[in-house]
Amino acid sequence: WDGGKSWINTATLSFRYKLAHQLVEGINPQEIGLPKPPALDMTSPRPTMTPPLLVQQIVSPEDRTRPEALIEKLFVRTFQCHPKNELTGALRDFLATRELPLDDHAIRELLLLMMTTPNYQLT
């Protein structure tokens, strides 16, 4: 980033968190100024302009049953370096609260967690 770490302030960090969420979960039409859709049943999926991340394109069925391997795979993909113990411990703790095999939602949450860490924001 231009200016090194000096680019970080509450506005830019908030924007980057929101961007990470949009990249992983898709973009809600109201976020970009489109009219609000008619009332939806609470169980209906929210409308999106862009689809959520297609997890099956980056995660195999085997990865869904092997949290350690999944963390390593996504860590390298997200941070472009080998996993760091201090962060992977928190990621393991997060996945320990999810049922195996991991569903798309849990994997998207894991990616979003990775993308909102200081480690990601400073790389």
**Could you tell me the pTM of the whole model?**
0.78
Predicted confidence at residue 12, as pLDDT, reads 83
DSSP collapsed to 3 states, the chain: CCCHHHHCCHHHHHHHHHHHHHHHHCCCHHHHCCCCCCCCCCCCCCCCCCCCCCHHHCCCCCHHHCHHHHHHHHHHHHHCCCCCHHHHHHHHHHHHCCCCCCCHHHHHHHHHHHHCCHHHHCC
Band of residue 27 on the pLDDT scale cut at 50, 70, 90: confident
Band of residue 45 on the pLDDT scale cut at 50, 70, 90: low
